């Protein structure tokens, strides 16, 4: 189980922690000196940097005849990897971290479950979130196969619509599992808690936690232990997003609000929020509806992806590369993993997303990150096509140890943005305003399906100021748009070695512009 | 020059929550750039002073784009010139006439068969008041009221002399269907919602007075072919089929009041065939217009007898048609002519009979079991085309049906009216043929080029003797403006002009202009909500001449199209006039940019590569697109086999690389990120060659073989040495079903929503393909044989007395909680649940039987204390027959042998000792077995053989 202590460390302290390996990396670079730099530059000219140089992907072998449409992943205490499938099986992969991945073997632990999209191991039990219930499984006979299938809670409704998925989280600090429940047909709520997030206590009690969900694709905590989920483009969701499951909040789709009448909901959540107005904008409604938690991150449709899915947080303290503390989110259609940085502004999470790694074998759905820094990705494209052409996949990805030149984090300032890089920038190119392109837009918040990008504006970058260490650039921007995605392309920025960025773009969802005093306090 | 003023906002997307325009600098800048070429400022803005009466001619495009223009534009003026048909009196240059495609006034050749004379009279007396928004002028300005009335009367008689209106009664089912159709297929996009309380939009063509104007047959004929009456395509044909035109007519004319012409009596009862109503006591009786089933107020288990008289004027053979759901009968003078008896979906049956002139006594009987109900009674005979019989019957033995209030044409007045028609300018606009040639207008007017602005028809107060339109100030200004400038539209400017003329913009956007207005958004529906707006909102016309090949574009405009079956709004047929637009669009949009490669392989190999690409191991087109009649595995986007018929290959090559560029917001993914193929091993990693191959394959059209991944194959689960468990949506076992296939070929589906065994069956277990391919929608049935349903509802209950019905509430409400299952040593599940404080295990084990295996079921209950009152297990519902000579054995429904095995620890001395109870409550016979607790434990053992 991942280190829960680390999760409680404050984001500020983590930022300090995360700079440590990066600093060592850059020191090493400086020491190696300018002799190598020229050679590097020549190489760079021949071959532009590729994602695979930094994060190579390796497939794990799947036995002939097994259809491993991975719905959830969980590393067990004994080092095995549990993989649950949409066909209702759970497989245990022996030696998933073996140096030669092809030597990993797997054995079936259970079958006959209903589309398992959440796994968690605890106290000798394997907790599995099925469509209709949270169960826990155990092998009592010692033959390596589960023989007890206990229902922990089956308190949510299900009508038989394929869209009624249930995604289960890892345990939170209190041991609760958070379950995000898709709407019936992804439009309406025909049974209790469809379109809700509920949490199931260790005692098996169901607590209604958030309303307003549409079609979740994954659920997971950030480094601080706050729970997030991904939702997908559709009614009341102009594009896919990462949303903070603030307890008691409304996540934007009013389809499930009818369940506010249930006594359990009234007790846990109070009265129903005011219904949002269709055709409006997210932040216009957020100001009217206190329960409404606006999406922390919007993944611009067709730019970042089309189906946001599994979530992991990098809690490896640098073993997974320079992105410690950040969140990684899969995209099923694009077969990619995206990267997200978050900050809290006026009490709400918001932040930016960045492309991270493409080229997974199938549609990325489930993610798991080992404490040693190996990211496992399970994929399926059944029913929903993906760029990865395989019907299913199980892959792992490790950091090669080379530090890619990337935008580490884009942070909002009262008058612009602060860009932190993984490696020092070339001060000359970075200080030129024309090295950067910034545009903004948002999405219609409406009851019909999705939204185009609307309300485009073109802010002006007045100044780009490079910090002394070369790692941070402060952009002074005229025309920040509260409530808009700020799409930044740093196409002209070069590293100190003259290399272009591995990914030039970042999309900051500026729900709130930080006030000057908050920025100063940080 | 040009025309189209800047849009303040796009109604679909740019409306802010408060309805205010969202003004963001970027958006405005983009609009300005896009429209710079079309935008003209003609001078200082004049104050908007549109204070004219709200009855000015309503032209949707003018209302939407020009009515509140601050300065008049040429575009608005040209639109009016065409739509008010000015050039039919004021001759225009050939060039301008061609450009305008003027809207011809309705053809009046047989107007008497279509429009009621009473309406014509009212309308001609005051066109504006009778039909607000009408584009017909008042031609009798300046006349005394008496003279006006005289002329109108004469004209009415003349027009009525062209035919007679036939009447029909609106039928409830047709009205209901018509309401859905009207709002769904596209009528309401131009005419506005006709539902109660719907807002009347300025941009709608009003239907005021339509119920006074038309009869159902007249309107039906018009809707079937609107171009026959209105040749200029402004009222397009929606290609209505079957009863659709009649249904819409019935809906629009639903309030028509027709003299009652039948007497009815109605009855209730549960029948399989028509009863003899004369032997039954009616529940109610009365008079009605037509064979109206709503008279009983019932939907199920009722019958109606209608009685009336049918006058026959001509000798000969008549055919009667009885169409009904369920049974019906037609009788004349008590002899059955047609019998369409029994329970069935809507079907017609017909019968022929020879009739002599005279009055016949008509009886129509109808009965309804359950489900849908409908009755259509029609007839045909000498000189009478097939039509509803309700238009020919009467309750008045002396009257001629339908003639009660019929308008009687005076020949003198008609002749006078004919003269007025020619002299007053009616004939200038309206075509009315006599003997094949059009009546000529005798009215002379000055050519368009010689007209003065602000005078004549365009004066604020139109001089006596000239036609008056009650033009709004904006309309007058626009016309004035266009008269001042003589130049014609350039071809590229004609496109927005024509898109406005035909109101294409009501559905389609092109550039920043047009598209669905927010207020009409809900009228656009889809059968596949998950496709989002793409499945619902008609496509953009941006670059449409680049996308569609010229022939198809022409075809679509000329004949309409239905290539998006999921989109319920139809692309109507606008006719040959609109097809002009096709040429302009092609000329403006078409681009040839792609280099289409030549693949040096035989065509059949290229086709095979294309087929591979379309399939699930290629670009996965088939996940979303269906192919011919084979459904896609996800949503059902457009048929792949129609693509090459519609599209240009050059566009296809470019579109496939980046769909987003050509179709903003589309869900169509790019299989070629960055222009590179995701399948490097095919055709040397060349995207263009792969697209060529795909095109060649698609060109096979309906001969194209189905790509891989479409034909879903069965995934049969076969138990080996151990049972297979399959937890999924199973029909009659619920969404939380847990099916178990045992090696002994006996199978079980246990319903975890109700804690009950739901189904048992033999042989093959289950086909998992429904749930394990595609998205897995729906409930699967057992694959094997001898499927037996066990009692629904909760399994255990304490009853207050033996007469109380078995509880029907869901298990959760009855205090049950599912606890899961454990596997026994043979890995058979033992289901566990709790009822209050009783913990229950339900264990099925196959046991040998002849000819098939059966089940031995052991139910174990543990409770800290025995429940107060007897706890019963409902073992069976149905026909319960105790087996003679064998205690504890029953035959259920003649098929299931159910036996209770005594268990040693419960045989004697048990608390609450009771015997099995066979009882009938609410018409259901059930077998209840008592649960006997000893020391807080009880066990029941049952065997099932079937």
- Tell me the three state secondary structure of residue B115: strand
B597 vs A: CB within 8 A: no
Query: Distance between CA B475 and CA B72 in Å, rounded?
Result: 8
Question: CA nearest A362: which of A397, A329, A387?
Answer: A387
**pLDDT top residue among B21 and B451:** B451
What number is the average pLDDT over the span B860-865?
94
- B636 pLDDT higher than 70: yes
Query: By percentage, how much of chain B surpasses pLDDT 70?
Result: 92
A77-89 confidence digits (pLDDT tens): 999 999 999 999 9
- Cβ separation of A458 and B673 shorter than 8 Å? no
A260 vs B: CB within 8 A: no
Query: Distance between CA A283 and CA A274 in Å, rounded?
Result: 15
- B2 pLDDT higher than 80: no
Question: CA nearest A138: which of A154, A122, A117, A116?
Answer: A122
User: Which pLDDT belongs to residue B38?
Assistant: 35
Burial B124-147, CB ≥16 within 10 A → b, else e: bbebbebbbbbbbbbbbeebeeee
Using CB atoms, pick whichever of B17, B533, B726 lies closest to residue A284: B17
Using CB atoms, pick whichever of B24, B616, B818 lies closest to residue A456: B24
User: Which pLDDT belongs to residue B15?
Assistant: 33
ipTM of the complex as predicted: 0.90
Q: Which two tokens stand for residue A414?
A: 């009262």
Query: Distance between CA B175 and CA B290 in Å, rounded?
Result: 14
Query: Distance between CA B300 and CA B312 in Å, rounded?
Result: 35
A316 vs B: CB within 8 A: no
Question: For residue A86, what is the nearest residue in chain B, using CA coordinates?
Answer: B772
- Cβ separation of B819 and A285 shorter than 8 Å? no
Q: Which two tokens stand for residue A389?
A: 């052409």
- A68 pLDDT higher than 50: yes
- B465 pLDDT higher than 90: no
What number is the average pLDDT over the span B339-366?
93
Query: Which residues from chain A sit within 8 angstroms of residue B679, using beta carbons?
Result: 389
Domain ranges in chain B with CATH number 2.70.98: 716-945
Architecture of the structural domain at B716-945 = Distorted Sandwich (2.70)
User: Which pLDDT belongs to residue B723?
Assistant: 98
Residues whose CB is less than 8 angstroms from the CB of residue B424 and which lie 6 or more positions away in sequence, other chains included:
B139, B140, B151, B443
Query: Distance between CA A145 and CA B823 in Å, rounded?
Result: 10
Residue A260 φ then ψ, to 5°: -60, -15
Q: Which two tokens stand for residue A270?
A: 């109070």
- Cβ separation of A385 and B623 shorter than 8 Å? yes
What number is the average pLDDT over the span B158-181?
87
Query: Distance between CA A118 and CA A98 in Å, rounded?
Result: 24
Which residue is it, tokens 């092109």? B510
User: Which pLDDT belongs to residue B482?
Assistant: 86
Beta bridge partners of A200: A177, A206
Query: Which residues from chain B sit within 8 angstroms of residue A131, using beta carbons?
Result: 735
What number is the average pLDDT over the span B445-470?
87
Domain ranges in chain B with CATH number 1.10.760.10: 603-703
Give the range among A245-259, B256-270, B351-365 with minimum mean pLDDT.
B256-270
- Cβ separation of A151 and B819 shorter than 8 Å? yes
Among B35-44, B131-140, B821-830, the range of highest mean pLDDT:
B821-830
DSSP A402-457: -----EEEEEEETTEEEEEESS-B-HHHHH-GGG-EEEEEEEEE-SSB---EEEEE
- Cβ separation of B529 and A185 shorter than 8 Å? yes
B258 vs A: CB within 8 A: no
- Cβ separation of B17 and A479 shorter than 8 Å? no
Query: Distance between CA B504 and CA B410 in Å, rounded?
Result: 44
To the nearest whole angstrom, how far is the Cα of A400 from the nearest Cα of chain B? 25
Give the range among A47-61, A262-276, B120-134, B903-917 with minimum mean pLDDT.
B903-917
Query: Distance between CA B324 and CA B318 in Å, rounded?
Result: 20
Q: Which two tokens stand for residue B903?
A: 């268990």
Show which of residues 191-230 on chain A sit within 8 Å of chain B, judged by CB atoms. Answer: none
Question: CA nearest B220: which of B291, B167, B282, B279?
Answer: B167
Residue B580 φ then ψ, to 5°: -55, -35
- Tell me the three state secondary structure of residue B216: helix
Query: Which residues from chain A sit within 8 angstroms of residue B810, using beta carbons?
Result: none
Sign of the Cα torsion A188, A191, A196, A197 reads negative
Sign of the Cα torsion B281, B286, B291, B294 reads negative
Using CB atoms, pick whichever of B634, B664, B820 lies closest to residue A150: B820
- B20 pLDDT higher than 70: no
Query: Distance between CA A482 and CA B591 in Å, rounded?
Result: 40
B284-337 confidence digits (pLDDT tens): 998 888 898 888 888 899 999 999 999 998 899 999 999 999 999 999 999 999
- Cβ separation of B529 and A457 shorter than 8 Å? no
- Cβ separation of B532 and A381 shorter than 8 Å? no
- Cβ separation of B669 and A281 shorter than 8 Å? no
Using CB atoms, pick whichever of A135, A450, A481 lies closest to residue B665: A450
Show which of residues 484-523 on chain B sit within 8 Å of chain A, judged by CB atoms. Answer: 518, 521
Query: Distance between CA B294 and CA B298 in Å, rounded?
Result: 7
Beta bridge partners of B919: B926
CA distances from B891 to B845, B918, B944 (A): 20, 12, 10
Which residue is it, tokens 């784009």? B65
- Tell me the three state secondary structure of residue B715: coil
- Cβ separation of B14 and A148 shorter than 8 Å? no
Beta bridge partners of B760: B748, B788
Q: Would you place residue A30 in the very low, low, confident or very high pLDDT band (cuts 50, 70, 90)?
A: very low
User: Which pLDDT belongs to residue B415?
Assistant: 94
Residues whose CB is less than 8 angstroms from the CB of residue A5 and which lie 6 or more positions away in sequence, other chains included:
none
B665 vs A: CB within 8 A: yes
Taking every pair of Cα atoms in chain B, the longest distance, rounded to a whole number of angstroms, is 117
- B398 pLDDT higher than 80: no
Question: CA nearest A106: which of A84, A124, A133?
Answer: A84
B45-83 confidence digits (pLDDT tens): 333 333 334 579 989 889 888 988 888 888 888 899 999
Question: CA nearest B198: which of B507, B505, B519?
Answer: B519
Residues whose CB is less than 8 angstroms from the CB of residue B379 and which lie 6 or more positions away in sequence, other chains included:
B318, B319, B320, B321, B386, B387, B389, B392
Domain ranges in chain B with CATH number 2.60.120.1560: 262-391
Q: How many CB pairs under 8 A join A and B?
A: 164
Query: Distance between CA B165 and CA B221 in Å, rounded?
Result: 12
B663-718 confidence digits (pLDDT tens): 888 889 888 988 899 999 999 999 999 999 999 999 999 888 888 888 767 899 99
Q: How far apart are the two ends of chain A, measured CA to CA in Å?
A: 32
CB-CB contact of A492 with A428 (8 Å): no
User: Which pLDDT belongs to residue B92?
Assistant: 86
B547-569 confidence digits (pLDDT tens): 999 999 999 999 999 899 999 99
Which residue is it, tokens 């009228």? B523
User: Which pLDDT belongs to residue B400?
Assistant: 58
| The 3-state secondary structure of A341-409, one letter per residue | EEEEECCEEEEEEEEEECCCCCCEEEEEECCCCEEEEEEECCCCCCCCCCCEEEEEEECCCCCCCCEEE
- Tell me the three state secondary structure of residue B107: coil
User: Which pLDDT belongs to residue A520?
Assistant: 59
User: Which pLDDT belongs to residue B487?
Assistant: 67
Query: Which residues from chain A sit within 8 angstroms of residue B531, using beta carbons?
Result: 449
DSSP secondary structure code for residue B627 in this structure: B
Residues whose CB is less than 8 angstroms from the CB of residue A88 and which lie 6 or more positions away in sequence, other chains included:
A111, A112, A113, A114, A115, A116, A130, B726, B727, B728
Architecture of the structural domain at B262-391 = Sandwich (2.60)
State which H helix or E strand residue B829 sits in: strand B829-835
Query: Distance between CA B454 and CA B475 in Å, rounded?
Result: 11
With vertex at residue A41, the alpha carbon angle to CA A39 and CA A46, rounded to the nearest 5 degrees, is 100
Query: Distance between CA A186 and CA B634 in Å, rounded?
Result: 14
Q: Which two tokens stand for residue B500?
A: 């406005």
Query: Distance between CA A280 and CA A238 in Å, rounded?
Result: 11
- Tell me the three state secondary structure of residue A505: strand
User: Which pLDDT belongs to residue B208?
Assistant: 87
User: Which pLDDT belongs to residue B815?
Assistant: 95
What number is the average pLDDT over the span A373-377?
98
Burial A335-368, CB ≥16 within 10 A → b, else e: bbbbbbbbbbbeeebbbbbbbbbbbbbbbbbbbb
- A512 pLDDT higher than 50: yes
Q: Would you place residue B372 in the very low, low, confident or very high pLDDT band (cuts 50, 70, 90)?
A: confident
Sign of the Cα torsion B556, B560, B563, B564 reads positive
Show which of residues 75-104 on chain A sit within 8 Å of chain B, judged by CB atoms. Answer: 86-88
Query: Distance between CA A366 and CA A330 in Å, rounded?
Result: 8
Mean predicted lDDT score pLDDT of chain B: 88
B533 vs A: CB within 8 A: yes
Using CB atoms, pick whichever of A135, A450, A479 lies closest to residue B532: A450
CATH number among 1.20.58.2240, 1.10.760.10, 3.30.70.20, 1.10.240.10, domain B603-703: 1.10.760.10
């Amino acid at each position: 189980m991942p280190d829960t202590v680390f999760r409680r460390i404050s984001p500020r302290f983590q930022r300090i922690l995360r700079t440590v390996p990066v600093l060592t990396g850059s020191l090493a670079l400086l020491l190696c000196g300018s002799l190598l730099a020229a050679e590097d530059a020549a190489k760079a000219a021949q071959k532009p940097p590729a994602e695979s140089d930094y994060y190579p992907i390796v497939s794990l072998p799947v036995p002939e005849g097994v259809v491993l449409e991975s719905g959830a992943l969980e590393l067990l205490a004994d080092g095995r990897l549990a993989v649950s499938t949409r066909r209702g099986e759970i497989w245990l992969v022996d030696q998933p971290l073996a140096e030669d991945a092809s030597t990993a073997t797997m054995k079936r632990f259970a079958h006959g479950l209903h589309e398992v999209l959440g796994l968690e191991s605890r106290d000798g039990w394997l907790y599995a979130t099925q469509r209709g219930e949270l169960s826990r499984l155990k092998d009592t006979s010692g033959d390596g196969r589960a023989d007890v299938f206990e229902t922990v809670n089956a308190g949510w409704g299900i009508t038989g619509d394929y869209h009624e998925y249930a995604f289960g989280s890892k345990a939170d600090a209190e041991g609760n599992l958070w379950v995000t429940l898709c709407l019936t047909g992804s439009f309406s709520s025909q049974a209790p808690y469809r379109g809700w997030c509920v949490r199931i206590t260790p005692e098996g009690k169901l607590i209604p936690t958030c309303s307003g969900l549409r079609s979740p694709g994954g659920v997971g905590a950030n480094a601080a232990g706050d729970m997030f989920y991904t939702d997908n483009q559709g009614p009341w969701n102009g594009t896919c997003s990462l949303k903070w499951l603030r307890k008691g909040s409304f996540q934007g789709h009013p389809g499930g609000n009818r369940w506010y009448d249930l006594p359990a909901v009234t007790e846990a959540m109070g009265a129903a929020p005011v219904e949002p107005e269709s055709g409006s904008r997210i932040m216009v409604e957020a100001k009217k509806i206190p329960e409404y938690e606006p999406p922390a991150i919007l993944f611009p449709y067709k730019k970042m992806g089309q189906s946001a899915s599994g979530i992991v947080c990098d809690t490896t303290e640098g073993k997974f590369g320079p992105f410690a503390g950040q969140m990684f989110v899969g995209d099923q259609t694009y077969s990619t993993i995206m990267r997200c940085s978050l900050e809290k502004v006026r009490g709400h999470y918001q932040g930016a997303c960045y492309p991270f790694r493409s080229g997974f074998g199938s549609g990325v759905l489930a993610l798991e990150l080992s404490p040693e820094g190996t990211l496992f990705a399970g994929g399926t494209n059944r029913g929903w096509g993906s760029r990865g052409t395989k019907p299913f996949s199980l892959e792992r990805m490790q950091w090669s140890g080379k530090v890619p030149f990337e935008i580490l984090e884009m942070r909002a300032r009262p008058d612009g943005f602060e860009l932190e890089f993984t490696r020092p920038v070339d001060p000359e190119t970075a200080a030129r305003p024309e090295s950067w392109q910034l545009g903004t837009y948002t999405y219609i918040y409406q009851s019909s399906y999705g939204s185009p990008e609307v309300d485009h504006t073109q802010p002006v970058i007045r100044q780009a100021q490079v910090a002394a260490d070369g790692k941070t650039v402060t952009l002074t921007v005229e025309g920040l748009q509260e409530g808009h995605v700020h799409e930044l392309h740093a196409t002209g920025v070069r590293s100190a070695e003259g290399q272009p960025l591995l990914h030039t773009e970042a999309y900051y969802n500026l729900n709130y512009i930080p006030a000057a005093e908050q920025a100063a306090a940080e | 020059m040009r025309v189209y003023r800047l849009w303040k906002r796009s109604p679909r997307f740019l409306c802010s929550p408060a309805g205010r325009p969202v003004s963001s600098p970027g958006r405005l800048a983009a609009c300005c750039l896009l429209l710079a070429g079309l935008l003209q400022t003609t001078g200082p803005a004049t104050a908007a002073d549109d204070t004219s009466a709200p009855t000015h001619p309503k032209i949707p495009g003018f209302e939407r784009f020009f009515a509140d223009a601050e300065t008049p534009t040429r575009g608005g003026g040209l639109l009016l010139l065409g739509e008010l048909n000015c050039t039919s009196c004021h001759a225009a240059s050939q060039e301008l006439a061609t450009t305008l495609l003027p809207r011809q006034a309705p053809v009046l050749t047989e107007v008497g068969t279509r429009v009621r004379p009473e309406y014509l009279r009212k309308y001609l007396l005051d066109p504006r008041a009778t039909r607000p928004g009408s584009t017909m002028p008042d031609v009798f300005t300046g006349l005394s009221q008496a003279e006006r009335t005289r002329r109108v009367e004469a004209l009415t008689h003349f027009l009525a002399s062209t035919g007679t209106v036939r009447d029909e009664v609106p039928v409830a089912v047709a009205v209901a269907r018509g309401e859905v159709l009207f709002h769904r297929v596209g009528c309401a996009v131009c005419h506005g919602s006709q539902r109660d309380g719907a807002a009347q939009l300025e941009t709608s063509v009003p239907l005021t007075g339509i119920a006074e104007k038309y009869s159902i047959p007249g309107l039906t004929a018009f809707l079937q072919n609107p171009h026959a009456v209105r040749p200029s395509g402004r009222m397009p044909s929606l290609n209505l089929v079957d009863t659709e035109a009649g249904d819409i007519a019935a809906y629009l004319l639903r309030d028509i009041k027709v003299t009652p012409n039948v007497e009815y009596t109605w009855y209730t009862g549960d029948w399989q065939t028509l009863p003899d109503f004369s032997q039954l006591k009616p529940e109610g009786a009365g008079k009605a217009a037509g064979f109206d089933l709503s008279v009983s107020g019932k939907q199920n288990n009722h019958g109606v007898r209608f009685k009336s008289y049918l006058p026959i004027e001509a000798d000969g053979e008549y055919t009667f048609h009885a169409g009904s759901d369920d049974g019906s009968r037609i009788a004349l003078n008590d002899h059955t002519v047609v019998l369409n008896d029994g329970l069935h979906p809507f079907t017609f049956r017909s019968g022929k009979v020879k009739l002599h002139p005279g009055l016949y006594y008509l009886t129509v009987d109808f009965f309804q079991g359950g489900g849908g109900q409908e009755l259509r009674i029609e007839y045909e005979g000498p000189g009478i085309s097939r039509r509803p019989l309700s238009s020919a019957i009467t309750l008045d033995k002396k009257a001629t049906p339908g003639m009660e209030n019929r308008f009687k044409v005076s020949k003198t007045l008609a002749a006078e009216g004919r003269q007025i028609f020619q002299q007053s300018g009616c004939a200038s606009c309206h075509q009315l043929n006599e003997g094949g040639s059009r009546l000529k207008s005798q009215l002379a007017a000055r050519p368009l080029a010689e007209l003065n602005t602000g005078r004549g028809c365009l004066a604020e107060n139109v001089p006596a003797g000239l036609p008056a339109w009650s033009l709004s100030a904006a309309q007058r200004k626009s016309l004035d403006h266009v008269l001042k400038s003589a130049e014609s539209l350039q071809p590229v400017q004609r496109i927005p002009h024509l898109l406005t003329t035909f109101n294409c913009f009501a559905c389609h956007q092109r550039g920043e202009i047009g598209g669905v207005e927010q207020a009409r958004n809900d009228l656009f529906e889809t059968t596949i909500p998950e496709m989002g707006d793409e499945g619902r909102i008609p496509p953009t016309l941006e670059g449409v001449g680049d996308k569609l090949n010229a022939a198809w574009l022409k075809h679509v405009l000329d004949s309409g199209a239905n290539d998006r079956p999921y989109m319920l709004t139809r692309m109507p047929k606008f006719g040959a006039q609109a097809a002009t637009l096709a040429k302009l669009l092609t000329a403006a949009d078409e681009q040839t940019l792609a280099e289409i490669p030549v693949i040096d392989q035989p065509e059949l190999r290229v086709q095979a590569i294309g087929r591979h690409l379309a399939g699930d191991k290629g670009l996965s087109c088939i996940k979303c697109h269906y192919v011919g009649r084979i459904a896609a595995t996800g949503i059902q986007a457009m048929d792949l086999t129609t693509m090459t018929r519609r599209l240009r290959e050059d566009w296809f090559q470019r579109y496939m690389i980046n769909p987003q560029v050509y179709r903003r917001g589309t869900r169509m993914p790019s299989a070629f990120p960055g222009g590179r193929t995701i399948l490097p091993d095919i055709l040397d990693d060349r995207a263009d060659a792969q697209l060529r191959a795909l095109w060649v394959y698609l060109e096979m059209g309906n001969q194209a073989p189905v790509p891989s991944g479409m034909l879903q194959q069965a995934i049969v689960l076969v138990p080996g040495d151990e049972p297979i468990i399959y937890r999924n949506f199973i029909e009659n076992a619920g969404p939380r079903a847990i099916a178990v296939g045992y090696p002994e070929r006996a199978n079980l589906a246990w319903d975890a929503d109700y804690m009950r065994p739901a189904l048992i069956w033999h042989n093959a277990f289950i086909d998992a393909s429904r749930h394990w391919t595609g998205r897995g929608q729906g409930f699967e049935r057992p694959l094997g044989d001898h499927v037996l349903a066990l009692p629904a509802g909760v399994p255990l209950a304490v009853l207050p007395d033996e007469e109380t019905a078995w509880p029907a509430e869901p298990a959760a409400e009855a205090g049950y909680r599912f606890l899961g299952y454990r596997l026994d040593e043979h890995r058979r599940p033992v289901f566990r649940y709790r009822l209050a404080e009783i913990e229950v295990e339900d264990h099925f084990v196959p046991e040998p039987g002849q000819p098939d295996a059966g089940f031995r079921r052991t139910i174990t209950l543990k409770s800290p204390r025995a429940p107060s009152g007897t706890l019963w297990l409902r073992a069976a519902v149905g026909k319960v027959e105790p087996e003679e000579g064998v205690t504890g054995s029953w035959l259920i429904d003649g098929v299931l042998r159910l036996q209770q095995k005594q268990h040693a620890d419960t045989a004697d001395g048990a608390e609450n000792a009771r015997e099995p109870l066979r009882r009938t409550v609410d018409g259901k016979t059930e077998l209840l077995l008592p649960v006997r607790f000893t020391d807080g434990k009880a066990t029941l053992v049952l065997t099932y053989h079937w």
